[in-house]
Amino acid sequence: MVGAVFAVIGAVLQATASTVSHMIVGRIVTGLGVGCINCICPVLLAESATPKSRGRLACVQLSTLNAGIMMAYWVDYGFNQIASKPAYAWRIPVALQIVFMVAILLLAIVVPETPRWLAAHGRGDEALIVLSRLADRDSSDAGVQETYQGIMHAVELERDAGVGSWREILKGDKIKSRRRFLIACGIQFAQQIGGINGLIFYSGIIFSQSIRLSNSTANLVSGLLFTWFFVASFIPHFIIDWAGRRKLLLFTVTGMSLIFAIEAGLIKQLQEVGYNKPIGIAAAAMLFLFLGLFTIGFQAVVWLIPSEVLPLRLRNKGSAVSTASNWITNYAIVQITPIGIKNLGWKFYLIFFAINLVAVGFIYWFIPETAGMSLEAVDDLFIGATGCAGKWRAKEGRTTQIHRRNTSSSADYETKVGISSSHHEVS
């Protein structure tokens, strides 16, 4: 709710801006709001969804994001045709975001706290109620009780590891909190440093300066590119849980790297030999293919992984820092891309080829498979994990075993975490 309020205020400031400083203040306020929403939404989704639906629901979230990108571009494209009233060309599109932020604000009123957050804050009874509502089952249902007990066991294990302070983010404990935090930040950094927002922000420049299309054609093709971005985002809905996070990342990021190598060769021909229509079409097609691979693998998975791998007590803080690493890298790429295209030409694309190739190595060694796992089982995955992430295996029940070694009796456990054994029915 706080993030949505900030975003609405920022949008109003931008839409009414009459000076550069006025606009900058509006952008900063909006940035605070959007940054807050970006941190919270993936965590809210991951902690509320079932293991089998978590990946698909993350894809739904990203499809709505891509729909927004597509809508924003076509609205801007349409309003830019209003030459007689140039002020409308930017004020109205900026103001339109208020509609969506108000919708988020209203929805936030009815969205409950997640069961895991409630359990971690000593509100076990409420956690059970929310779990039963999410499952649409009675709180005494065996599946609901199993999930509930797993959450409470994980809460107790993580309380033994620490209280969730900022200092603990880099703590080398038995559930590998430091490694999990670095994985969350690393994958967010890798997504942005690979060049995606250079393409999204400067597609028109890339199509006109690198591929040598006319300005009007470049703007139209950019709109088609973002329409494809939205359409392609439905593909991972059907494969993200079937293929798994790790395989999908390895396949798509490898493809993205190779596409930049091919793109560099095609643009080299266009810049050194002169415009050639078949080569220009091929170069444009490579960017469509790149964006398709990105949304199929890198886009949804990267927003899932931090929420899945971070331990419960550090999930909010870790997600905030990993999201910050995403946006800081985004800013750097947006600043560098036009300079790189202007001064390096086709060679600039080879930099992204190399960066994405390095990202493949990072994914291979450090990103474990978390598809179909409960968030509590991820603790088991990291305890004792060594070597390549592809070889990590969770030993079923290890979290429960550790908990039982540290808790003398069931009664002591319930007293310690502040829950009762009573069940609640939800109508």
pLDDT category of residue 423 using cuts at 50, 70 and 90: very low
**What CA–CA distance (Å, rounded) separates 180 from 177?**
5
Q: What is the pTM of this model?
A: 0.78
DSSP 120-136: HTT-HHHHHHHHHHHHT
Q: What is the mean pLDDT of residues 148-166?
A: 75
**What CA–CA distance (Å, rounded) separates 96 from 32?**
18
Q: What is the mean pLDDT of residues 255-259?
A: 94
Query: Is pLDDT at 364 greater than 60 in this prediction?
Result: yes
**What CA–CA distance (Å, rounded) separates 76 from 387?**
49
pLDDT of residue 405: 41
**What CA–CA distance (Å, rounded) separates 375 from 190?**
23
Residues in the chain: 427
Percent of the chain beyond pLDDT 90? 20
Q: Which two tokens stand for residue 257?
A: 């790297």
User: In which region does residue 420 sit, left (phi positive, over 0), alpha (psi from -120 to 50) or beta (all else)?
Assistant: beta
Query: Is pLDDT at 415 greater than 60 in this prediction?
Result: no
pLDDT tens digit sequence for 281-305: 898 899 999 999 999 988 888 888 8
Which residue spans within 134-209 are E strands per DSSP?
Answer: none
Question: How many angstroms separate the Cα of 313 from the Cα of each of 98, 163, 265, 297, 347?
Answer: 33, 7, 48, 28, 45
**Exposed, middle or buried by CB within 10 Å (0-12, 13-18, 19+), for 339?**
exposed
Query: Is pLDDT at 62 greater than 50 in this prediction?
Result: yes
pLDDT tens digit sequence for 94-119: 888 888 888 888 888 888 888 888 88
pLDDT category of residue 84 using cuts at 50, 70 and 90: low
Query: Is pLDDT at 402 greater than 80 in this prediction?
Result: no
Residue type, 169: I
- Among 58-62, 159-163, 339-343, which is the least confidently predicted range? 159-163
**What CA–CA distance (Å, rounded) separates 396 from 231?**
39
Pick from 37, 32, 36, 56: nearest CA to 46: 56
Angle at 51 between CA 330 and CA 132, to 5 degrees: 115
In the chain the domains, ranked by start, together with CATH numbers, are 2-111+173-366 (1.20.1250.20)
Let me know: does 29 contact 17? Beta carbons within 8 Å. no
Let me know: does 154 contact 173? Beta carbons within 8 Å. no
